[in-house]
């Protein structure tokens, strides 16, 4: 006999989400934040959202600059992804701690993470600040950079990281103690 499914109530806790590293910068300060609450909002124009708690150091940088870059890590970059999601740029330089190289972008003033195989330059076109725990930044894609090892194949054959509050980062042992 099949067991009945359990009700879990209104929660996002079971939703699998891709994990990205968002680089941001303002007034000579640059930072990186791990973000799971992200997704494609629209194909044309190409729009992507990121949701950030106002308490994050990165929040002020993005509010002030109106720009961010989405860097897609591979599963080999789990350690760096975890560090950028646990430490604040207020306390440490995540670029040097992770051995990440900042590369100048073409359309925004925020640097790309060279070591990530995909970088997506975005300009904020809408900010929603009254939704709840997180503010939502909707960014319009300005340019996309693809690792030359991926580009000729025209397919994204990396293993991206995925997250849900109940599982941590999929396939890995990361279990967050705090709510993101």
The helix (run of H) or strand (run of E) holding residue 61 is helix 57-65
For ligand FMN, the closer of residues 23 and 119 by Cβ is: 23
Touching ligand FMN, residues 79-98 (CB under 6 A): 82, 85-90
> What's the min distance (Å) between Cβ of 7 and ligand FMN?
25
Which of 49, 58, 65, 119 contacts ligand FMN by CB under 6 A? Answer: 58
- 119 sits near ligand FMN (criterion: CB under 6 A): no
In this chain, which residue has its C-beta nearest to ligand FMN?
Answer: 85
- Give the DSSP letter of residue 60: H
| Closest to 21 (Cα-Cα) out of 92, 91, 112 | 112
Which of 36, 105, 112, 116 contacts ligand FMN by CB under 6 A? Answer: 36
- 33 sits near ligand FMN (criterion: CB under 6 A): yes
- 51 sits near ligand FMN (criterion: CB under 6 A): yes
Asked if 118 contacts 101 with a C-beta cutoff of 8 angstroms, the reply is no
Distance CA 74, CA 128 (A): 29
Touching ligand FMN, residues 143-162 (CB under 6 A): none
Dihedral sign for Cα atoms in the order 30, 144, 39, 71: negative
Per-residue CA distances from 106 to 32, 103, 111, 136, 148 (Å):
18, 10, 9, 24, 17
Residues that bind ligand FMN (CB under 6 A): 19, 31, 33-37, 51-53, 56-58, 82, 85-90, 134, 163, 169, 176, 180
């Amino acid at each position: 006999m099949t067991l009945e499914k359990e009700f879990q109530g209104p929660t996002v806790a079971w939703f699998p989400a891709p994990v990205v590293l968002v680089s941001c910068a303002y007034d000579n300060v640059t930072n990186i934040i791990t973000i799971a609450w992200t997704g494609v909002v629209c194909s044309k124009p190409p729009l992507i959202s990121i949701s950030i708690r106002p308490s994050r150091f990165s929040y002020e940088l993005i509010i002030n600059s109106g720009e961010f870059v989405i860097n897609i890590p591979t599963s080999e970059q789990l350690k760096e992804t975890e560090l950028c999601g646990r430490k604040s740029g207020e306390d440490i330089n995540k670029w040097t701690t992770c051995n990440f190289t900042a590369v100048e972008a073409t359309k925004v003033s925020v640097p790309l993470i060279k070591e990530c195989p995909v970088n997506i330059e975005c300009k904020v076109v809408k900010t929603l600040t009254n939704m709840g725990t997180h503010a939502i930044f909707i960014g319009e894609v300005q340019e996309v950079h693809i690792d030359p090892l991926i580009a000729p194949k025209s397919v994204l054959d990396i293993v991206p990281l995925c997250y849900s509050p109940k599982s941590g980062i999929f396939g890995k042992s990361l279990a967050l103690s705090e709510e993101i």
